[in-house]
Amino acid sequence: MIAARAAALAAAAWSVPALAPIVPHVARAMRIPTVLASSGDVAITFDDGPHPQGTPAVLELLAAAGVTATFFLVGEQVRRTGSLASEIAAAGHAIAIHGDRHRNLLRLTPGAIAQDLDRAADTIGPADLHRAPYGIYSWPALAAVRARAWTPVLWSAWGRDWARGATGASISSLVLRDLHPGGIVLLHDADDYSVPGSWRATVSALPRILDAIGERGLRTAALPQGL
């Protein structure tokens, strides 16, 4: 009984950082930002790209609105999509790291985590912000990210745009429900790790989200370095 309880407590302690995306006080305790320090700004972020169709569609909408965003890129997708990562940067958006492959870091050994981060950095280039796939960090992952002088980043609002059945209306409704000054919004410009075609719903939702940000008197900004 005692041994089983000790094992359960150890397992729970090991997985504490994984609760950060859904338990704000855990994120604060882990020193993982979910909001901006400047309360007048809102940061729009995109995970999982680049994507040959989703990313250009998102870039077009952002350009039309005069908005900059932050793209958390996956190394294997950067290699597959050629110049798209450069096009994101050339458009004035911030580049951040989402990993080399889209894997749950809680399931990787410290050595595998280090290899993934290093290959991502080699492919994606200079960046100092990192978001774990699924937002799930482990203690070794947090240590490895911070050892590279990167800042782990989560979010305060999301549209669950990766889910089956998500629509432009459902995505924008969820984002706007939780959108506050200083918020960090999570969206996805790719469908390689989610429901096929889900990026289309994100593209449908984005204009309404951007309009609502402006109507609320807020500004959009890329995530600052060293958030």
Per-residue model confidence as pLDDT tens for the chain (227 residues): 444 333 333 333 445 777 777 777 888 888 899 999 877 899 999 999 999 999 999 999 999 999 999 999 999 999 999 999 999 999 999 999 999 999 999 999 999 999 999 999 999 999 999 999 999 999 999 999 999 999 999 999 999 999 999 999 999 999 999 999 999 999 999 999 999 999 999 999 999 999 999 999 999 999 987 67
Amino acid at 11: A
Q: How far apart are CA 205 and CA 166, in angstroms?
A: 10
pLDDT at position 79 is: 98
Tokens of 154: 């989560």
46 vs 58: CA distance, rounded Å: 9
Among candidate residues 47, 100, 116, 191, the one labeled active-site is 47
Q: Is 47 considered catalytic here?
A: yes
Q: Would you call 130 a catalytic residue per the annotation? A: no
Residues 112-150, buried b or exposed e (16+ Cβ, 10 A)?
Answer: ebbebbebbbebbeebbbbbbbbbbbbbbbbebbeeeeb
User: Looking at domain 2-220, does it have CATH number 3.20.20.70?
Assistant: no
- Would you say 221 and 43 are in contact if contact means Cβ atoms under 8 Å apart? yes
SS3 41: strand
What secondary structure letter does DSSP report for 44?
E
| Residue carrying structure tokens 């969820």 | 174
Considering 51, 93, 130, 188, which one is annotated as catalytic? Answer: 188
Say whether 220 sits in a helix, a strand or coil: strand
